[in-house]
Amino acid sequence: MFGEFDHVGWIVGDLDAATAWAQETLGLEYIRSAALPQYAIEANFLGTGSGTLEIFTFTDAEILEGRLEGRPRRLDHVAFRRLQGLDALLASLRASGVRFCTPDRRQELAEPIEVGPNRQIWTVPETTGGLAMQLNEPLAR
């Protein structure tokens, strides 16, 4: 239903330290970084194969503190990639009561947003059993 597993998002207070730890301790290869300044997000992606680890932080202290819930790091979301049919999936989820939001969770979304080469949307965790999911679909080029 959701498509292929894409990555796990791990939110941290210290991006550089967490990235170094994952490289040294877990042996994960650094792949790329990403920044979404409009949502105050800075991220590093590590690992290759069937899924990656996204280690990210918020540059906005208020958002970061709220999402960390008093911890230095925690699992934040699971991401899936669909090659087509994202709109149909969203309609089905919406009919079941699922709501969607921006990655900073400050604004609800009715439609996916373009981020890099993808259309993306995130679930409001309270509407998906407490688990935040990121749903991605490559843009048609």
Tokens of 47: 């690992």
Question: Please, what are the domains in the chain?
Answer: 4-138 (3.10.180.10)
Tokens of 141: 């080029």
Type of residue at 132: A
| Cα–Cα dist 132/141, whole Å | 28
Q: What is the pLDDT of residue 11?
A: 98
Instruction: Residue 119: name the closest of 96, 104, 95, 136 by CA.
Output: 136
Gap between the Cα atoms of 40 and 113, Å rounded = 16
The average confidence (pLDDT) of the chain is 94
The pLDDT of residue 141: 63
User: Can you give the pTM of this predicted structure?
Assistant: 0.91
- The percentage of residues in the chain with a pLDDT greater than 90, rounded to a whole number, is 87
Per residue in 122-131, pLDDT tens?
A: 999 999 999 9
The two three-digit tokens of residue 134, written as one number? 């990121």
